[in-house]
Chains A and B, each alone.
Chain A
Amino acid sequence: MSMEEIKYSKVGENVFTTTLPNGLPVLVMKKEGFQKSFAFFATNYGGMDMRFQLDGQWLDTPAGVAHYLEHKTFDTEDGNALQDLAANGASPNAFTSTSFTGYFFESTEKFEENLRILLSFVSIPWYTQESVDKEQGIIGQEIRMGDDEADTQVFYGMLEGLYAHSPIQVNIAGTVESISHITAETLNLCHRAFYDPANMVLCVAGDVDPERVAALAEEILPKEGHPPVERDYGEPEPDRANKPLWEREMAVSTPIFQLGFKDVPPAKGEAWLRWELTGDLAMEALLGTSSPLYARLYGEGLVDSNFSYGCEAYPGAAFLCAGGESRDPEAVRDAVQAEIRRVAQEGLDEALFQRLKRAGYGGLVRGLNSLENLCINQAQANFCGYDYLTFPEVFASIEKKDVEDCIRRAMTEERTTLAVIRPKEGPQA
């Protein structure tokens, strides 16, 4: 299996890439000197993909099915792949996000054997009704645990505040009720629809032989892929936020909040990467740790060092957000909105913008130290139609005006929502 080598000299990375005849893209990042190798096998299928067309029929599946499938995919005819990998000294795991599901392991020995296990268990469904039923207890506990996680809850609260009906606001794990409808048959259908080589990507980083990786994938995976499955995310979302405020009470010490701004979703391809990089810069410039606003809010005790911010894009939905703990989330929102109005009118400070670009570049390059980060970003970029390692060029081309446009477009009052979890009165430890 011959592979194309692409050198990204600015960031010192070499990538070997090919697309198998079954449609699976394979990307291998050669990392010399690292002890471990990391393999990430992902499908473009996540919590939001609940309604889709298979064999000419529209299917509605229960909330939480992609995540349930992820748990049960480790089951094999002979037992459990998690244990097979762990017994080899590998650290395997998996996660389900809003738009994709990834299975991975890192290992310092027996890489090929481990890769073989990974490719096999993910591509060969083995769902028995007995084991599907048993999983209800474990996932039920996971959902209950999430119910107590204020950070998780406030994030979903913000999505509910922003979106009228986009499925990105549905809890990835589902509810105890929704998962009770999942059967082995549901899992088999979803596996057939989405665990198809042409809908997946394999990313490997480490001191490995790229051609062996591609050869193993070709040997183990199905020889043919099928055309992509059509998905339905409902009507396009209106521009404005669904509601300005979302509130709840929980056993927390200080109010926890997320402030969300609903943007127009980017098109697939380089535009997607540009949107993400521009969004990050917009948040840095507006309320990032080097911004005048952050220094003021921190000084007034309205935010602490756990304050964090970013932006995310999904099919049909994109938003910018910032959040953390604050004794007065409404005051934070008001201060941010005042700063947005000021920036919209006066523009950004040129020196600040140049500094942030320098800092942003350094942060992106430092992120390449992590093999996990590198593989996950590459996989996600592949699903969104761009090449992650082109970020230095795209980042360099972003101008002050682009960032100002983003702030003026996406951060108006009617596109803003505030989600707050307030401390509940009651027994404290």
Chain B
Amino acid sequence: MSPVTRIQLLPGVHLTAVHTTKFKSSLLSVTLLAPLSGDTAAANALIPYLLRRGCQAHPDLESVSAALDQLYGGSLEPAVRKKGELQCVGFVGSFLDDAYSLDGSPILEAATELMGQLLLDPVTEGGTFSQAYTQQEKEHLIDRIRGEVNDKRSYASLRVVQEMCAQEPYGVSRFGSEAQVASLTPEKVWERYQTLLATAPVELYYCGTAEPQRVAESFRKALSGLPRTGSFQLPACLVPADAAQVRRVEESLDVAQGKLTLGFRTGGITAASPEYPALMLCNALFGGTTTSRLFLHVREELSLCYYASSVLHKYKGIMVVSSGVEFADAPRAEEEILRQLEVCRRGEFEPWEVEGGRRSLISALRTLLDSQSRQEDYWLGQVIHGLTEGPEELAARLEHVTVEQAVAAAQTLRLDTVYFLKGVQA
């Protein structure tokens, strides 16, 4: 097991460091946290992309790239994520481990320095962000928002959540809305940036061969210019347990295959709940794996869909089922998906299904330790929700979940919204 260290570096600034020698690279990230809100989401999302354009020491894209090339082709990319009802904006970087540099020179210190420069010393123009960079990054962000429709499968999953949580912060897109992005000016974004720097809780992450103290020291040095004033408190996520009545939303696009997505509330169960492992097993049995009811019955036995699967939004307490079907088959597919859920609620599982689901979940948690980026994403979600449970501890809890507990979790699921993306002619 890789030891995980958590250190407070500055007020509201914490480092999570995973010490391991099995990778040839190190992974670093810096993340500013803000409540997800329609008023600020667009500006928050724009900030890392703007900062990535250049800093005082490396004032344009080409020179930032040159600095990264010098660090053996390290990457340092803007990251905008939604975890529960928090918006997480910052950078994720991957760098060659010191052991493999051609001249033996350390890479970690140079990498954190570059990260600090990009975060704290942007190129400015008249005391705010550059007019040209702001305009260009606004256009790119709008393209990114519009581009969500291009992948129909993930688009349908996004849309069902948006519709379902229209009255909750969770319904806000991680990028904000197109209209909000369009209304941003360099001054407005600059003001938001200053607010974030001073008041946002900051999460730092490192995974690699360096000792945590060395990592802490190099981050402390790189972030010494960070102003810190604020209480660094974040609001809790709203978790409605039930759905009043099923909402139905249909949209048309010129597509060949329909996408049917169903959003469920999990009865208040989230990653923080004692029942969470039971909900995980329930999801695995229902639609989370290739031995699940949705895969084996809706896809394989009935050939109704090319894919039919379910995923949990663990911090929000939502389960989303998504499937790709012929337009005319959608009613049958929905009926069959709900029928399989009833089977789960009655607990009609074969022993091999239960053990297969459990083994697959445990294996997925263990293999998370073999991927630096998956580990980073896991820990970010955990620490910002005040959770300390690691993948191995969660795996240990899964070993003891009973069929009855998984069935009890299935019984808490309430269908909230059905979204169907159909063709123009349908």
Contacts and interface: CB of A to CB of B under 8 A. Distances in A.
Interface of A: 11-12, 31-36, 80, 82-83, 86-92, 106-109, 134, 137-138, 141-142, 144-145, 147-151, 250-254, 256, 289-292, 294-295, 298-299, 301, 304-306, 325, 355-356, 358-363, 365-366, 368-371, 424, 426-429
B74 interface: yes
Contacts of A31: 22
Contact of A365 (B66, B96, B257): B96
A299 to B, nearest CB: 6
Interface in B158-187: 159
Contacts of A141: 257, 303, 305-306, 324-326
Interface in B1-48: 20-25
Interface in B251-268: 251-257
Interface in B139-169: 139-140, 143-144, 146-147, 149-153, 155, 159
B424 A108 contact: no
Nearest to A106: B367
Given A34-B370, A427-B252, 14 more contacts: A31-B22, A137-B303, A141-B325, A145-B256, A145-B306, A254-B146, A295-B60, A301-B136, A325-B150, A363-B73, A366-B96, A370-B371, A428-B149, A429-B155
B194 interface: no
A256 B151 CA distance: 12
Max chain A Cβ within 10 angstroms of own Cβ: one of B150, B364, B424: B150
Contact of B356 (A89, A145, A358): A89
Given A254-B147, A361-B102, A12 B24 contact: yes
A47 to B, nearest CB: 18
Nearest to A87: B356
A325 B362 contact: no
4 closest Cβ pairs, A-B complex: A89-B359, A362-B72, A359-B73, A137-B303
Contacts of B324: 141, 145
Contacts, number: 201
A328 to B, nearest CB: 13
Classify the secondary structure of A's interface with B. mixed
Contacts of A86: 289-291, 356, 360
B237 interface: no
Interface of B: 20-25, 49, 60-62, 65-66, 68-74, 77-78, 94-96, 99-100, 102, 132, 136, 139-140, 143-144, 146-147, 149-153, 155, 159, 251-257, 289-291, 296, 299-300, 303, 305-307, 324-326, 352, 355-356, 358-360, 362-364, 366-367, 369-372, 421, 424
A295 B22 CA distance: 35
A35 B370 CA distance: 6
Contact of B61 (A83, A89, A298): A298
B62 A295 contact: yes
B359 A87 contact: yes
A361 B24 contact: no
Contacts of B99: 12
Given A304-B143, A358-B73, A369-B24, A36 B150 contact: no
B102 A358 contact: yes
B90 to A, nearest CB: 15
A358 B367 contact: no
Given A142-B306, A254-B143, A365-B100, A299 B136 contact: yes
B299 A299 contact: no
A91 B360 contact: yes
Contact of B290 (A33, A83, A134, A304): A83
B62 A290 contact: yes
Contact of A251 (B96, B253, B307): B253
Nearest to B145: A253
A144 B153 CA distance: 13
10 contacts: A91-B363, A92-B290, A138-B303, A149-B151, A291-B62, A298-B61, A305-B77, A359-B72, A362-B72, A429-B253
B11 to A, nearest CB: 33
A82 B62 contact: no
B149 A429 contact: yes
Contacts of B140: 301, 304-305
A16 B26 CA distance: 27
Contacts of B159: 429
Contacts of A299: 61, 132, 136
A145 to B, nearest CB: 5
B69 A368 contact: no
A301 B142 CA distance: 11
A127 B421 CA distance: 35
Contacts of A32: 22
B96 A107 contact: no
Given A86-B356, A294-B61, A359-B69, A253 B367 contact: no
Given A87-B359, A252-B150, A254-B143, A358 B303 contact: no
Nearest to B372: A369
A301 B138 CA distance: 10
